[in-house]
Amino acid sequence: MSAPVTIAPATGGLRVSTQRLVHIYRSEGHEVAALSGVDLDVAAGEMVGLLGPSGAGKSTLLSLLAGVFRPSAGKVFVGQVELSAATGRRLDELRALDVSLMLQGAGRNLLPYFTPLENVRFAQDVARKAGKELPDPDEVLGGVGLGTAEGGEAHRPLSELSPGHLQLAALAVAMAPRPGLLLADEPTSQLEHSARDLVLERMAALNRELGTTVVLVTHDPDVAAFLPRTITIRDGRVGGEGRSGEEYAVVTPDGFLPLPLHVRDELLPGTLVRFHLLEDGSYTLIRERGETDG
């Protein structure tokens, strides 16, 4: 794994925030809460990873940020646009110009009968028609490291590409309209380490060079370690945040504080605790029976 890429200040990125975001879906006749009040704020040009166990709601959150799902409650802002209130057409515009979603599995992001070059051209089509200045597809593909010369990966049928190259092609397609926000669902799953690192480097480079805000979902701790900021989703809520290798609990706007997992194992439900402010400004967490946790 390479050293973490330094993120340049965002110029073209979009700020992403959610307020008390709730998403409920029906499954086999029952209502299931995928997200139960997520408050999130990602600055423009940031590169953030969403972590969490399977079923925690990471992909749902990503879909809500892409405007694929409508939230059951709460608000989602991407840039100045409140997605939860946007019309279908506005959402289409947003996806055409500013928000790209990379689905899990490279193949799901690419039209199978097109070459990477044609896929990029296809992805740029609507934005270009809308008058957005876009780079040449060759440039986009070159930007993710795919060979654009005659016979290069950019011109080859998808079936002839390696999984890593396919993922890079998917990344190029996602970045083709030069979005302000790139949402990627497990972009490195099913990839070997070298391919994974390559993809991550390219994403980071794009984030750095273009200022694109990147939110990606991952299970991979190595990937998480690569990212400057990670947000852990647990039981449909923000369960914690990691910054530069440090794990933090995040106080919600209404004052709740989800316990880190290892603490939760210690503090069983119903346990009474007290917060004691120390002189140096730090807090001591005191259990009811008098034992102290720092």
Partner 1 sequence: MRRWRYRPLQAAAVAALAALMTACAAFAPLYYRAMQQALTDITITDAPVVRSSLVLSSAPGDGAFTSAPVLPPEGVAAFVPPDYRGDFHAPVLGYTANAVVVPVTPTSSSGDLIWRDGMCDHLTFADGRCPDAADEVAVSEDDRRVLGYDVGQRVMVAGATGPNGAAAQITLEIVGIYHQGGGDYWFGQSLTGRSGAVQGAGTTPEHDVWVAPREPFEQAADGFDVRESSAGYLLDTEAVDVDDLIALGAAVDALAHTRPDVGQAPLRVVSDLPGLASSVQDQIDQSRVTVPLLMAQLCLLAVVVLWLVLLAITEQRRPEVAIARLRGRGGRGARRLLLAELLPVTLAAVLPGAALAVLASWIARTAVLPGSPPFELGWSFVLVLGLAVLVLVAVTLAAVGRVAREPIERLLRRVPPRAAGWALGATDAVVIAGCGGIVVVFATGGLDGPIALAAPGLLAIVVGLLLAHLTTPTAAVLGRRRLRRGRLRAGVSLLDAARSPATRRIVAIVTLASALAVFSADALVVGQRNRAAASEQTAGAPRVAELRGNDLLAIRAALAEVDPDGTTVTPVVRVSPPGDGAVDTVAVVPDGFSQVALFPGGAPSSDLWDKLAPPDAEPIVLTGDSFAVDLVDSSLSSQRQDGKDHPVTVGLDLVTPRGETLHTTVGQMPKGTRTASFSHQVSCTDGCKISGVWVSSLPGASIHGAVTLRNLTGGDEAVGIGPADRWTPFADRSVGTVEPHSTSADHLTVEVDSASATVLTMQQNWLPTTVPTLVSGPLPPGNERNRFAMAGLDGEAQPAARVGQLARVPASSANTIVGNLDTLERGRSVLATDRLEVWFDSDDQELYDRVEDALAEQGVQIATTRTLGEVRRTYDDSAAAWSLQLAALVGAVAILIALLVLVVSAASSWRLRTRDLAALRMTGVPPRSMRSMAVASQLPAVVVGVVAGGLSGLVGAQLAMSIVPLFATAPEVSTLDLDTAWPAVLSAAAAALVVLASGSILIGRALAARADLRRLRETV
Contact footprint for partner 1 (CB under 8 A): 63, 66, 68-69, 88-89, 92-97, 100-101, 103, 105-114, 118, 122-123, 125-127, 158-159, 163, 166, 173, 177, 190
Pick the closer one to partner 1 by CB: 82 or 118.
Answer: 118
Q: How far is the CB of 24 from partner 1 (least distance, A)?
A: 13
Pick the closer one to partner 1 by CB: 33 or 122.
Answer: 122
Q: How far is the CB of 92 from partner 1 (least distance, A)?
A: 4
Pick the closer one to partner 1 by CB: 145 or 163.
Answer: 163
Cα angle 188-200-258, degrees, rounded to a multiple of 5: 75
Pick the closer one to partner 1 by CB: 1 or 85.
Answer: 85
Pick the closer one to partner 1 by CB: 87 or 244.
Answer: 87
Q: 139: closest CA among 116, 106, 114?
A: 116
Q: How far is the CB of 221 from partner 1 (least distance, A)?
A: 24
How far does the chain reach from its first CA to its final CA, in angstroms?
33
Single-letter residue type at 151:
G
Block residue for tokens 């690569």: 226
Pick the closer one to partner 1 by CB: 46 or 98.
Answer: 98
Q: How far is the CB of 95 from partner 1 (least distance, A)?
A: 4
Q: Kindly report the number of other CB atoms within 10 A of residue 144's CB atom.
A: 28
Cα angle 42-40-34, degrees, rounded to a multiple of 5: 130
Q: How far is the CB of 101 from partner 1 (least distance, A)?
A: 5
Block residue for tokens 């980071």: 204
Contact between 111 and 176 under an 8 Å Cβ cutoff? The reply is no
- 156 backbone dihedrals φ, ψ, rounded to 5°: -95, 155
Provide the pairing of β-strand 283-287 with 292-293.
antiparallel
Contact between 229 and 223 under an 8 Å Cβ cutoff? The reply is no
Pick the closer one to partner 1 by CB: 109 or 232.
Answer: 109
Contact between 64 and 35 under an 8 Å Cβ cutoff? The reply is yes
Question: Would you call 41 helix, strand, or coil by DSSP?
Answer: strand
Contact between 158 and 169 under an 8 Å Cβ cutoff? The reply is yes
Q: How far is the CB of 113 from partner 1 (least distance, A)?
A: 4
Q: How far is the CB of 59 from partner 1 (least distance, A)?
A: 10
